[in-house]
Amino acid sequence: MKVAPWCIKSRLLALLFLLLVSALFVANQALASQVTHHRFHAETLGRDYPYTLYLPDGYHDSGLDYPVVYLLHGSFGSDRDWVSHGALKQVADRLIRRGDIPPTVFVMPGSRSWWVDGHNEAARTAFLNDLMPHVETLWRVVPEREWRGIGGLSAGGYGSINLALENPMLFAATVALSPASYYPLPPSNSTARKHPAFLGDDNRFDEGLWKNLNYTTHLDNYLKQELVVPLYLSAGSRDVYDALSHARRLQAALMPHQPGQVQLEVFSGGHTWRIWRASLAPALKFMFRHLQSPVPTVSSP
């Protein structure tokens, strides 16, 4: 009995579809990284501190200690943003698979502030005194500067720059995507002007607090030190907060101190996740040119 040509074509298409599904399944299984969500009680905050964790393929069986990168979310964001909107898992998996970065633990904390000790919570202190010790006790990461990086987007970029310049002994590199490091004050449309972190008792934006907490407060002390933190900056060419000009100002301030170690990349676009997703891979590759050797160490018994 002859089989109609359309039937043969349908069977071939079905077979090709099954092969494609199988190939995608195998590809997804090839790098079994893991993303999980956690909470712990932070004494500084008097409440639970949330964070999302990326563990590279092989973490549970290797017995090795890994580099750690802290990624901070933006204004009014959450610890889940980097995974749900920023494609962190897909980008990290791809970079690790290609050998562009080593297997790494990524910690994505959540904050109700702008990563500062603001009017609503002591986010900076909680990050340094609660989150980092918790991570370095519970997870197999190397608790040394040369193996530790920090980065963030928008308000998280502001936070990562502040933390790195204030504490260069803690971080070997930092990345800041469309950082909200506005000088001397945030623009009128910035959410900083409406965020509880910067609203005083009169519910008005506290200009003095902003100036005291911005990176410029740490800049003079940082420039006096020999220890430098390489910095990757990115921003969109049509950023509604003009993050690009503020990033250029920061780059100009740091370049004489650390020539060749401040990179600014400009993308076509605004202050959006499209820009931050595009920035993430080059930012991480830049970071790992300055972190410790990509060979993880054997964990101490």
Q: d(Cα 157, Cα 210) in Å, to the nearest integer?
A: 15
Residue 189 is given by DSSP the state T
Span 33-54, average pLDDT:
98
Give the per-residue pLDDT at 68.
98
- Band of residue 291 on the pLDDT scale cut at 50, 70, 90: confident
- Band of residue 15 on the pLDDT scale cut at 50, 70, 90: very low
Give the per-residue pLDDT at 107.
98
Q: d(Cα 252, Cα 243) in Å, to the nearest integer?
A: 14
* All domains of the chain in start order, with CATH: 31-291 (3.40.50.1820)
Summarize pLDDT for 118-135 with one digit per residue, the tens.
999 999 999 999 999 999
Span 106-110, average pLDDT:
98
User: Is a pLDDT exceeding 80 seen at residue 168?
Assistant: yes
Q: Dump the DSSP string for 199-257.
A: B-TTSSB-HHHHHHHSTHHHHHHHHHSS----EEEEEETT-TT-HHHHHHHHHHHHTTT
User: Is a pLDDT exceeding 80 seen at residue 75?
Assistant: yes
Give the per-residue pLDDT at 109.
98
What percent of the chain stands above pLDDT 70? 86
Give the per-residue pLDDT at 5.
52
Q: d(Cα 263, Cα 251) in Å, to the nearest integer?
A: 8
The answer to whether the beta carbons of residues 213 and 118 sit under 8 Å apart is yes
- Band of residue 30 on the pLDDT scale cut at 50, 70, 90: low
Give the per-residue pLDDT at 265.
98
Q: Supply 298's token pair.
A: 């054997």
User: Is a pLDDT exceeding 90 seen at residue 11?
Assistant: no
Span 190-215, average pLDDT:
97
Summarize pLDDT for 223-276 with one digit per residue, the tens.
999 999 999 999 999 999 999 999 999 999 999 999 999 999 999 999 999 999
- Of the listed ranges 8-12, 98-102, 125-129, the one predicted with least confidence: 8-12
